[in-house]
Structure 1
């Protein structure tokens, strides 16, 4: 029997990740049939650069799929089953400021961690809520699969502001690390592993990794991480220097609790001085992306459009993003897929705030996620998570209440910031550059 086919809108159609995601969706049509694919962005010029190439990919690989790129919310969100959201409010120009302003004061300058991540969160909340409202207005039965950053703050905002909405928040970082674990073990796929994990987004730990026969794989991975971090002995793919350093740094992060395996983002909280020392305050990760991937993707899209063919295109399928299809399939076909999602705790972690948005394994079917109980967590992780979840909640409260005081409190509560004076200096600079994006704080 022919499977039902689905209509999708990718919100953030002008993203440099969109072409790879479109190619990934086209490569998975047997598992997840698509009848209509739309791109939506509020930056028409940027989206058009991407959309021209995506239209050619679709014509070549699946001409039956209807394609539309639009800046009109009604066109974009009408008659859709899934909204795949990966927006970046303020684009890379604002990310650059998120990174450089904290570094000016000797504080971690990073996209989702520390003051820069909180600034990004303050911009993202309104943008994601707007997308939810468009979806519910024009396609009230649709699901939103949100992988917009910073996912922890966005998830808390959706919990507070749209608690009954059909939104699932998911992050690709644990998936990327699990891909590396599979390489370290010599497995063909991370899907050969069954994992247990808990934490907050970009702030968590693996406690169990087994193969499908139940054999314990943790000792072998832990032995490797002690020596090499999350760097496979034979690195097959070319990894950017900044990411290589991140995966190597897992050696140091791992030492804080050798019974588990850490998310790499914990490096920013456990070793903030090291992160600042290796950063160039004049040329940050945002500059690397703008000069690297952004120029490359836009150039390749232009080449595809000019040739009206993808034959010579170097844009590749984003296999890494196949988790998006896994999630959509689980919702559509009730597969019961086991996936790491960001969900309201509600007792999943027994000795932790029930209202916290935690990242844990869930079984996903057509009614949404069913979290797998974690039980009690150790005092070390509990203390760290209580501090970090308070940061995230204060940011959302600051946005809702337009509160300068609460945003200052959020920044000083971040483990990356040394004192309240420095937090205030950073906050005042961030307010100045975010006047077009944040609520006016008082």
Structure 2
């Protein structure tokens, strides 16, 4: 095989140093020839800053990889072996609107959940489909490794709407949960002795765990992590919590009844009122997560400008999303070497979860082979989880349909069935305002938005 050509769409991201570090750490498993970092004109400055740093990192590692920076996506994609996607349509200003507009209406504003998550999908899905059209022509055998959020919906759109079967999505949340569980069982930091099975949707999965003797320890972990009097709970949650989710305490009895460990994002659905209260307090102080991240990112890029910096700085962990890029590198290495690494990924269900459509995309434990992800069978969920899971998948499918067609009625429907949006005319008013606020990034809704503006709908910054 020839040397690998790897392309990253959204190469100007603040996460790129972790991606480059991941490739450097796997240099003995991947014979890389070219790395291409791609961005758009809006991201030119960031691309130049982080791209120069990437070149320094590769040089410091003593590697002869050709690190290219470009605004020409088609130039980069020609004959690529792997394409990774980590872009944010509208940059962080769009995320700020996603979080602040719902809060103005008294609802949770969050990057991948509720109204904010829906609009991130609306902006992102048309772009991933355009990327796939270029890939069909320029690199028809390439793998698409997606960690652009909302990762599950974007991956499903790539596979089912775009027809790109060689797509795998990923998320960093299971990585943190796995580390947390091992620590809770008394293993040393860095030891991963437990066997895990994850199943559900991106940012809406559950998992179980077994020890080296084959004994299931899920119930023990629930007690150690979620019991209100557990000596482990506070320290472990602080060490392995998700940066963009406040560590509110779950209702222990409810988790105990589930018999599974939830993911951090379940807080938005299991303790909605408490999360909303926190969300609205941040909104009032102009300290939504997006606003905090924007400041953190500005500080990171000031660091990246340092011509002496040729390694990933520790400050990047404050950005949130740590481990995403490294996981992408691991997937690429596993596919390339048929290494059969166990990972948690978004891939087609194919009967893995019997409660969901056969061809939908789920987030599950899988073995990563040369031909893609082979999921571990999960089977059925008990009613309490099954009902929510099926509703969330129906919502995702409706969002994807609206995003890929510009169907306004389906957008209304997606808002109506989303558990974090209060349905009714006020929800429709919020939808209309968010459409107008995002008009520069929603070409599929152009006719709808023109009609709304003619009717007097305006975006009023909150």
TM-score, normalized by the shorter chain, greater than 0.5: yes
Counterpart pick for 2:235 among 220, 233, 236:
233
**SS at structure 1 position matched to 2:305:** helix
Partner of residue 32, structure 2: 34
Structure 2: 5+ residue runs without aligned partners?
A: 449-462
Q: Does 1:22 align with 2:20?
A: yes
Task: Choose 208-217 or 85-94, whichever is displaced more.
Answer: 208-217
Q: Deviations over 1:43-91 (max 9, x none)?
A: 2222112111111111111331111111112321123211111111111
From 327, 330, 337, the equivalent of 2:331 is 327
Give the counterpart of 2:302 among 280, 299, 302.
299
Could you say what secondary structure the match of 1:233 adopts? helix
Matching of residues 382-421 of structure 1 within 5 Å: 382-421=386-425
Root-mean-square deviation (CA, aligned residues, Å) is 2.6
Deviations 1:313-355 (Å, cap 9, x if unpaired)? 6566966643222211221111222221222223221233223
CA contact (8 A) 2:331 2:368 kept: yes
Shift of 1:379: 1.4
Q: Work out the CA distance in 2 between the residues paired with 1:52 and 1:311.
A: 12
Over 3 Å counting, the alpha-carbon distance change for 1:255 and 1:131 in structure 2 is: same
Change in Cα spacing, 1:100 to 1:323, as seen in structure 2 (3 Å) is same
Q: Is the 8 A contact 1:144 1:167 kept in 2?
A: yes
> Corresponding residue for 1:178?
178
SS at structure 2 position matched to 1:192: coil
Please report how far the alpha carbon of residue 411 of structure 1 lies from its aligned counterpart in structure 2 after TM superposition: 0.8
Give the corresponding residue for 2:124: 124
Q: TM-score, normalised by structure 2?
A: 0.86
CA change 1:118–1:256 in 2 (3 A) is farther
Q: Structure 1: which 5+ runs fail to align?
A: none
Query: Is residue 300–residue 316 contact of structure 2 (8 Å, CA) maintained in 1?
Result: no
In 1, are the aligned partners of 2:179 and 2:190 still within 8 Å (CA)? Answer: yes
- 2:294 is aligned with 1:290: yes
Alignment length, in residue pairs? Answer: 433
Report the counterpart of residue 199 of structure 1 in structure 2. 200
Alpha-carbon distance between aligned partners in 2 of 1:429 and 1:46, rounded to the nearest angstrom? 30
Deviation at 1:255, TM superposition (A): 2.7
Aligned equivalents of 2:352, 2:240: Cα separation in 1: 38
Report the more deviating stretch, 13-22 or 322-331.
322-331
Distance of 1:158 and 1:312 partners within structure 2: 30
Instruction: Report the secondary structure of 1:393's partner residue.
Output: helix
Q: Within the alignment, does 1:210 sit opposite 2:210 as a pair?
A: yes
Given that 2:159 and 2:167 are in contact with CA atoms closer than 8 Å, whether structure 1 keeps it comes out as no
1:253 touches 1:267 (CA, 8 Å); kept in 2? Answer: no
Q: State the Cα distance separating 1:395 from its structure 2 match.
A: 1.1
Contact 1:181 1:190 in 2 (8 A): no
**Structure 1 residue 70 corresponds to structure 2 residue 74:** no
Deviation at 1:219, TM superposition (A): 3.4
Change (3 A) 1:395 1:314: closer
Conserved 8 A contact 1:176-1:320 = no
Deviates more, 1:424-433 or 1:73-82: 73-82
8 Å Cα contact 1:132-1:165 kept in structure 2: no
State the partner residue of 2:458. none
Q: 1:424 offset after TM fit, Å?
A: 0.6
Confirm or deny that 1:336 pairs with 2:340.
yes
Match of 1:367 in 2: 371
- What aligned pairs does 1:43-62 form with structure 2 within 5 A after superposition? 43-62=43-62
| Matching of residues 104-143 of structure 1 within 5 Å | 104-143=104-143
Q: 1:358 aligns with which of 350, 355, 362?
A: 362
Cα distance in 1 for partners of 2:313, 2:160 equals: 43
SS in structure 2 at match of 1:278: helix
TM-score if structure 1 supplies the norm length?
Answer: 0.90
Residues 109-145 of structure 1 show CA distances to partners (whole Å, capped at 9, x for unaligned) of: 0000000100000001012122222333222211111
